[in-house]
Every structure is written in structure tokens, then in C-alpha cells.
Amino acid sequence: MAPELRDILFLDIETVACTDNFNSLTDRLRVQWGRKASFFKQRQEGQTDEDMFQDRAGIYAEFGKIIVIGVGKYTENEKGELGLKTRSLYSHDEKKLLTEFKALIEKMDVGTKFCAHNGKEFDFPYLSRRMLVNGLALPSALNLAGKKSWEVPHLDTMEMWKFGDYKHYTSLDLLATLFDIPTSKGVMDGSMVNNVYYKEKDLQKIAAYCTNDVVAVAQLYLKMKGLAIIPEEGIQFA
């Protein structure tokens, strides 16, 4: 396996509002959400704080929670062919989920790097914030205090695609389309996760969607390195 493909943990998280009932929030948290919602430029006329909570709360670690963490690592078979092994961790109990994820990454080699699409802006800080909210000490891979930028073991396929253009946002779905990488976007998209979780109560559907996004990130990383993507038969779903 090429050196640049070793010791990378691809990941993706799925998040929802911390509750399906806005009124179940504490008085203090409702006030704080009202302040947050007042700054939303996309707010439509007549939308209440409660409406905005259901639509937007899952994006923010202060008002959301993590329900699924998908992970994946490259593998190599006896013929030297590259593969990908994936796994999804999911639970209604966020603390249990994060504890399981923390145990998993603490077993990995010290040099393991995380890679996600827009991970530096979303996945990595969200994971860190929710661990602290749940009273969990940060594992070294997420504890960035005092580290220089070159010491941070995080990769981001969106940052790789920016090529230094800090204003340029490009979705995983667009890049997957551009590079002809199969994705799960036809099944659902991120805007549907809150509804699928609270209305359809289908956590496994969200977990499958999340894992497919992990595959898309791993395939995109290969394309960013000028390599061929892994064929479907080379991908394992645990």
C-alpha cells in the first residue's frame, strides 16, 4: 500500500436536534436558541424559533447531538489490491456512542490521521464539543490544544479541493458527481436526517447513509491523489 494511504481513518457523522420537542429544552437553552435563530439570514417570514430549531439545530453542537459515526480504512489483499473496510457506530444514547468511538480510536496507531469532507469545519470540532458536553476527556487525536498546524493529524478532502481558496465551498455530492463516484445521495440527504430520525424512527437507514458517505470520502481521496477508485467488490461493510 502506498505510504500516503496508510493510517488514515475516514469518517463521517450524522447529527440531529438534541430533542424533537422544542419545549422540552430548559428555559435558558430556549433563550439561547432564540438569540442564535435571530441571526439566521435564511429565516422565512412567519417562522418561529421552534420551526427553526427543527430545521437547523442539528448543525450546531450546542443544540444538537450525534447519532451515527461512520468510519473506514483502506485494506490490501494478498494480491496487493486496494480495498476499503467500513463500519458504522450508532446509538440513541450519545454518550454511549461517543465512548465507543473514543475506545475505537484509542486502540489505533499513534500516527493515524482522520479524514472527512469539511471535517475541519464540522465533523472534528462537533465530535470534540459533544465529547466535552458528555463529560468525556478528549482523545489525543482530537485534543488540539497547543499543537502547531502541521502537528494536527486531520485531513479534509474539501480543503484539499480548495487549493488555498478559502472562500470556495464544494459539497461532497458535487465532487462525487464530478469524479463519477457512486454516493448514497439518491436515498436521502443531510436535510432529511432529522426527519428520518424523529418521524420515521429509522436509525439504521441513517447509519447506512452515513457509511456510504464514508466510502465516497475515501474514494474522493484516491481521486485527489490521482489514483483509481476501489471497485464495489473491494468494499466491506461491517
pLDDT tens readout for residues 169-209: 899 999 999 999 987 556 788 889 999 999 999 999 999 99
Beta strand 8-17 with 64-76: parallel, antiparallel or unpaired? antiparallel
In which band, very low, low, confident or very high, does the pLDDT at 126 lie, cut at 50, 70 and 90? very high
In which band, very low, low, confident or very high, does the pLDDT at 53 lie, cut at 50, 70 and 90? very high
Specify the range with the lowest mean pLDDT, choosing from 92-101, 103-112, 115-124, 160-169. 160-169
Residue 63 has pLDDT above 90, yes or no: yes
Burial pattern 161-179, b for ≥16 Cβ within 10 A else e, equals: beeeeeeeeeebbebbeee
Sequence ranges of the domains in the chain: 3-18+63-237
Please say whether the structural domain 3-18+63-237 has been given the CATH code 3.30.420.10.
Answer: yes
The radius of gyration of the chain's CA atoms, rounded to the nearest angstrom, is 18
CB neighbours of 115 closer than 8 A, spacing ≥ 6? 8, 9, 10, 11, 154, 155, 156, 157, 217, 218, 221
Of 76, 79, 63, 59, the residue nearest 28 (C-alpha): 63
Residue 147: how many other CB atoms lie within 10 Å:
11
